[in-house]
Structure formats: C-alpha cells, structure tokens
Amino acid sequence: MENLEKLRSLLSESTKDMRLNLSSVLSGDGLTEQQRWTVGLCAAYFLRCRTLSDALIADAGDRLDAAHVEDAKAAAAIMAMNTVYYRSKHQINLPAYETMRASLRMNRMVKPATDKGVFELCSMACASLAGCEACLKSHEASLRKEGFSESQVHETIRIAAAINGFVVGYEAER
C-alpha cells in the first residue's frame, strides 16, 4: 500500500486519527475486502479527490478489478445527481413535487457491471456523504432486501465517514 502510505504520511499529528481510520476501515470486517475497497474508491470519487482515488486503485492489486472500478465511478456520478435531486424534493416538501418524475437516466443502478449489492453499498456511501435522508432510507432498504445486515450497512457508512475525514485532513495539510 505504498501510494496510500505516502498520502497518510502527509497528515500531521493533528490529523493522525484520519491516518489510522483510513487503514482501519480498509482492513475492517463485516464486508468483503473487495466491497470495502470499492466503497472507499466510490467515496473518494464522490468527494472528487483524484489523488486518493488514484492511490486506492494503484494499491488495490487484485482487490479491485475493472468492473468494480467502473461501478464505483458510475455510482459516484449517479449519486451526485440523485442526492441533489431527491434531497431538494424532500426539503421543499410540497405535495406537487412528490408526484413529479425525476426523468433522469440511471440505468446503471439496475444493471451494474458487478452486482446490485456492491452498487447499493456504493450508493449508500454516497447518500451518507451527501446527507440525503430520502436516499439513505431508500438505499438502506435496498441493501436489506439484498441480504445485507444492519452491521454491514453501518460498516459502509463508517468507510464513507473515514474517507471524508481523510480527504478533509489531506486537503488541510496541502
């Protein structure tokens, strides 16, 4: 994990927790190694941190194949769109908007390159980063329907939170 280690070394003592959290969530349990790294990569894409996403890909080895990288990109882009749209409708909270269709393409969610579960994990991470209540509830329900446990959903949110903290710490040090 040479590239991630270089990034981690750039964080000072004041952001030491973020160095440790990054390592912890990528080597945690509850999700498979491939799921953890895909969710972490998706979160880095969602946060637009090219330096971290490049380091994750470079250090992933066989943890990430091309399909997982592409689904991480797709989930980040779709959720960047969806979290704005659905969060806005939810916050306006008027009946007229509830009946209006999004009419936004998101076919990749239905037919991901990997599997529905991995794509939903990525979507859940992005929903948590965006703070979109409607998206959080929708993706949590989808994950539970796909057979994921509450602790696996929790682990996904932890990964997103740690990636977010790392990105903020990294940017503060630059």
- Whether residue 1 is predicted with pLDDT greater than 90 in this model: the reply is no
Residue 102 lies in a domain: yes
Mean pLDDT for the chain? 95
Helix runs in the chain, H state only: 2-9, 16-26, 33-46, 50-60, 66-92, 95-98, 116-130, 133-145, 150-173
pLDDT classification of 173: cutoffs 50, 70, 90: confident
Tell me the pLDDT tens digit for each residue of 65-117. 999 999 999 999 999 999 999 999 989 999 999 889 999 999 999 999 999 99
3-state secondary structure 103-123: CCCCHHHCCCCCCHHHHHHHH
Residue 148 identity? F
Model confidence band, residue 121 (pLDDT cutoffs 50, 70, 90): very high
Integer Cα distance of 72 and 157 in angstroms: 15
51: in domain: yes
How many structural domains comprise the chain?
Answer: 1
List, for residues 29-38, the tens digit of each pLDDT value. 899 999 999 9
3 in a structural domain = no
Residue 112, domain member (yes or no): yes
Of 28 and 66, the structure prediction assigns the larger pLDDT to 66
**Residue 72, in any domain of the structure:** yes
- pTM of the entire predicted model: 0.95
For residue 104, is it within any domain?
Answer: yes
91: domain CATH number? 1.20.1290.10
Residue 23 included in any domain:
no
pLDDT at 10: 93
Angle between helices 50-60 and 150-173 in degrees, nearest 10:
120
| Residue 174, both tokens | 């630059």
The confidence score (pLDDT) of residue 28 equals 87
Contact 44, 53 (CB under 8 A): yes
Write out the catalytic residue numbers. Answer: 132, 135
Residue range of the domain that includes 55 = 31-173
- Residue 21 belongs to a domain: no
pLDDT tens per residue, range 12-27: 999 999 999 999 999 9
